[in-house]
Structure 1
Amino acid sequence: MTSPISFTALPGIGEILAGDDLAGIACAAFSRIPLAVRNGDILVVAQKVISKSEGRLVHLGTVTPSPRALELAAVTGKDPRVVELVLAESREILRAKPNVLIVRHRCGFVMANAGIDRSNVQGEDVALLLPLDADASAAALRDALQTRLGCRLGVIVSDSFGRAWRHGVVNVALGVAGLPALIDRRGEQDRHGRILEVTQVAYADAIAAGAALAMGEGAEGTPMVLARGLSWTAPENNGQALIRPLEEDMFQ
């Protein structure tokens, strides 16, 4: 019998500061829900929590826009200091139009504004950057949690992405540890015996999207979600497995 899938927001997380012990904060939050953490559970953590704990806040008063940043700011209508940070965090600019700046992030993500955000960040003149390495962040948090709890867990670092052909944002996985981010089902048969030729399941993205329903996108204050009831037989791989290689980019 298949176990039911559930997503439980962890209460009482509070504001995260640089250097905070996220594993300790998560363990304290686990004690406030009517579930005992067990093998196979997955903790989905909002990217902002990771970035704040890693000190990825930048005071915009310390940023001097370059000529390129000033040029892009004039096109997009964005703060030139934020645009300068976007340039520093990006491999290339893909689109620049009024209110739109799409880039290829230094970690390979194609996203708006290099993931730099000013919502749910304390301070009027502060911006928050993505983690330096979301997969490493997920792995470190997973190791710390497993040491404290004595059970096998997965960790997903998630963020909200827009979609090129659809309105709205959806949570996706930036960093993954302890589970397969991508499951390749090519070569399997469907119910009618046909061979699957292109099916690859963005497993961690699907979990992140489900967790977002419990996490929220605004002032909910619940940036950690415990996912339960999921199982897999595929080998583990990290968030980089979800990024399409440049040579396969159909829209370059």
Structure 2
Amino acid sequence: MSQKINQKDINQIVWNACGTFRGVIDPSQYKDYILTMLFLKYISDVNKEKRSEYLKKYNNDEIRTERALKMERFVLPEHCGFDYLYEHRTESNVGELINIALADLEEANREKLSSEDGSGIFRNIDFNSSNLGEVKDKNVRLKNLLTDFSALDLSPSHLEREDVIGNAYEYLIANFASDAGKKAGEFFTPSEVSTLLAKLTKSKSGARICDPTCGSGSLLIKAGREVGDNNFSLYGQEQNGSTWALAVMNMFLHGFDNASIRWGDTIRNPKLKEG
């Protein structure tokens, strides 16, 4: 069995991958590309491991395997998976292929990856954008990005601990915030502050925890961890569409699949009202 990936390894690999965009676009912009790719790589590796398990269980019966995979956390059409994109990393339209993969992934998982009005979490990100450079340069950058992430095996059996993916996501957000300076306030609360606030809530088992301006969701996650068991519910609302998308992915990467994260202005259009 190959050595399991630890927190230090994954943090280093994903942070090094950021070099693809440094000097081309601001950290406040390229964070979305890196975090989206981490999310896609994670669900792709989970899907690949589940596929292997089902093929073994059903004696290589593809039909039964596909049926079982449709009951998993995410439905992953073949052309939406990381491996497919990596195989096509040298194509002249690689940016367009990534965009198509993300759009179709949203469509296949509409209830999980879209807001109430149908807007998907990837709607604000464009891997084919001219902001990434002229066509030749852009294609090289995307090829390098896919190559960097190919070094990671994020399948559950290959992780040293189950929380390393979520922690890596938080690590990236914190580092992006440091690079982004004053713009970071839109999506990040410093760890020391969020930890203190989480402790002050003194949430107990059965708690329903709500953050009406949740940013990327870090405070919600820490507040949930303070409960001490899994008997709690998380609710959040975020006005900025890109930051809302980060929060949704953050919840999934931490295993909080049932968290309710809404997109919209909490003052003008509160979506977490009761009664």
Structure 1 and Structure 2 fold alike (TM over 0.5): no
Larger RCO: Structure 1 or Structure 2 (Cα < 8 Å, ≥ 6 residues apart)?
1
Using structure 1 for the length normalisation, give the TM-score: 0.32
